[in-house]
Amino acid sequence: MLIPLNGTSRITEIETRFTALFGMQPTILVRAPGRVNLIGEHTDYNDGFVFPAAIDRDVLIAAAPRTDRQVRAYALNFNQSSTFTLEDIQPATEGRERWSNYIRAMAWVLHEEGLGTQGMNCVTLGDVPLGAGLSSSAAMLVASGLAFAAGAGLELEPVRLALLAQRAEREFVGVNVGIMDQFISALGQKDHALLIDTRSLTYEAVPLPQSGVTIVIADTNKKRGLVDSEYNTRRAECERAVEILKESLPEIIALRDVSLADFERYADRLPEETRRRARHVVTEDARTLESVTALKAGDITRFGQLMNESHYSLQHDYEVSCRELDAMVEAARSIEGVYGARMTGAGFGGCTVSLVATEAVEKFQQEVPALYKQATGLTPAIYVTTAAQGAQRLK
């Protein structure tokens, strides 16, 4: 399904196909990347901290405004077209046009927020693996937002763009996500991960080591079946924990406000399962902040340990891992030179992220797939990645 082309040839491909389909040149070209979260999982809807990087895989959209109120879209990944009118934006229910819901969602949110929209011809081409937990949907939303903004002559601040994309996903697509994925897709910086405070929406770009260490993503190729319903259940459990802890800590608004010490003091007031959920969030926020301190001090070993601890907590306290993610993490850690490995994203399938000594990457690529296949019967995909720039208008 994916069309693996490098940057320049993908641009040539999308522009050529646009011209062939619409009989005109595209006047707009935008890109928005997927992401990998290094640490800080399931903290963003608790007002906490996350530490993701944009990856070198993205969604490209070539577009040209139309004089009417129609949007005509074509997805090269599916060889499918989809048309809708800006006068009455409805979700596509037809299975083969579902990809267009992200474009529809962005048009809808721009309209809802009183920002202009303009009819448009567009072609999309993505190489973010779909449904793998690398935020192909956030990339599609952010890229669509940029394309519509360009078409209507709107200047959107990147944080605003991220918030619009989040609202679009929540209210139009119907998944109650946090802000991490859209934020990093819109604001990512080359060679950096961003420490994002998801409450204030401020962030710090932290440089990643440019030699010696490599980020390796491993896709379990396990489809993330349960993710939507379990995601919403976890959110509700976190809210429940806040309600109960508020009786002892009236000033808290979200789990982010609960210190480790306060958690220890009052944890026994929570039912057992709620307690484990809350413990994950409270400890994950602390790990995320500590991991950034470690990284800045050049202590990759500590960073890796914190990634491992994060996985353990997601596995046992938050219970969003699965057999395949655990097997991949175990396979990764068996390779000498792996500093740490954990699941990344919402869980229940999708990908792991490992921090690997660069000289061990080849061995990782050779050995992890076989170990993983032995354990699960599934063939994984390995992506060696670098931190990429966030969304951009290229033309």
Active-site residue set: 181
Question: For ligand GLA, which is the closer residue by CB, 306 or 346?
Answer: 346
364 touches 380 (CB < 8 A): no
Nearest Cα neighbor of 58 from 7, 103, 18, 104 is: 7
To ligand GLA, the closest distance from the beta carbon of 365 in angstroms equals 25
Half-sphere exposure of 375 (CA within 13 A, CB side): 19
317 binds ligand GLA, rule: CB under 6 A? no
Question: For ligand GLA, which is the closer residue by CB, 148 or 318?
Answer: 318
311 binds ligand GLA, rule: CB under 6 A? no
Dihedral angle, C-alpha 371, 373, 375, 377, nearest 10 °: -170
327 binds ligand GLA, rule: CB under 6 A? no
Decide: residue 9, CB within 10 A, 0-12 exposed, 13-18 middle, 19+ buried: exposed
To ligand GLA, the closest distance from the beta carbon of 303 in angstroms equals 18
Q: Rule CB under 6 A: which of 131-150 touch ligand GLA?
A: none
Q: Rule CB under 6 A: which of 154-183 touch ligand GLA?
A: 177-178, 180-181
55 touches 64 (CB < 8 A): no
Find the binder of ligand GLA among 11, 22, 38, 44 (CB under 6 A): 44
Question: For ligand GLA, which is the closer residue by CB, 64 or 134?
Answer: 134
Decide: residue 72, CB within 10 A, 0-12 exposed, 13-18 middle, 19+ buried: middle
Half-sphere exposure of 247 (CA within 13 A, CB side): 9
Q: Rule CB under 6 A: which of 335-354 touch ligand GLA?
A: 345-346
280 binds ligand GLA, rule: CB under 6 A? no
Question: For ligand GLA, which is the closer residue by CB, 119 or 390?
Answer: 390
Measured from each CB, the residue nearest to ligand GLA is 178
304 binds ligand GLA, rule: CB under 6 A? no
Q: Spell out where 105-199 has E strands.
A: 120-126, 192-197
* DSSP letter, residue 88: S
To ligand GLA, the closest distance from the beta carbon of 178 in angstroms equals 3
285 binds ligand GLA, rule: CB under 6 A? no
Q: Spell out where the chain has E strands.
A: 28-39, 49-65, 70-75, 80-85, 120-126, 192-197, 202-207, 213-219, 338-344, 351-357, 381-385, 392-393
Task: Fill in the per-residue mask, 179 to 208: x = in contact with ligand GLA (CB under 6 A), - = not in contact.
Answer: -xx---------------------------
Nearest Cα neighbor of 342 from 334, 350, 352, 351 is: 352
39 binds ligand GLA, rule: CB under 6 A? no
Question: For ligand GLA, which is the closer residue by CB, 178 or 380?
Answer: 178
Question: For ligand GLA, which is the closer residue by CB, 76 or 351?
Answer: 351
To ligand GLA, the closest distance from the beta carbon of 182 in angstroms equals 8
* DSSP letter, residue 73: E
To ligand GLA, the closest distance from the beta carbon of 334 in angstroms equals 26
359 touches 334 (CB < 8 A): no
175 touches 190 (CB < 8 A): no
Find the binder of ligand GLA among 18, 45, 99, 339 (CB under 6 A): 45
First vs last C-alpha separation in the chain:
26
Q: Which residues contact 67 (CB under 8 A, 6 or more apart)?
A: 119
To ligand GLA, the closest distance from the beta carbon of 137 in angstroms equals 8
54 binds ligand GLA, rule: CB under 6 A? no
Total number of residues that touch ligand GLA (CB under 6 A): 10
Find the binder of ligand GLA among 26, 28, 31, 42 (CB under 6 A): 42
Find the binder of ligand GLA among 41, 58, 219, 237 (CB under 6 A): 41
CB neighbourhood size of 201 (10 A): 13
Using DSSP's 3-state secondary structure scheme, residue 5 falls into coil
Q: Rule CB under 6 A: which of 3-32 touch ligand GLA?
A: none
To ligand GLA, the closest distance from the beta carbon of 32 in angstroms equals 15
To ligand GLA, the closest distance from the beta carbon of 177 in angstroms equals 4
- Residue type for 78, please? F
List interacting residues with ligand GLA (CB under 6 A): 41-42, 44-45, 177-178, 180-181, 345-346
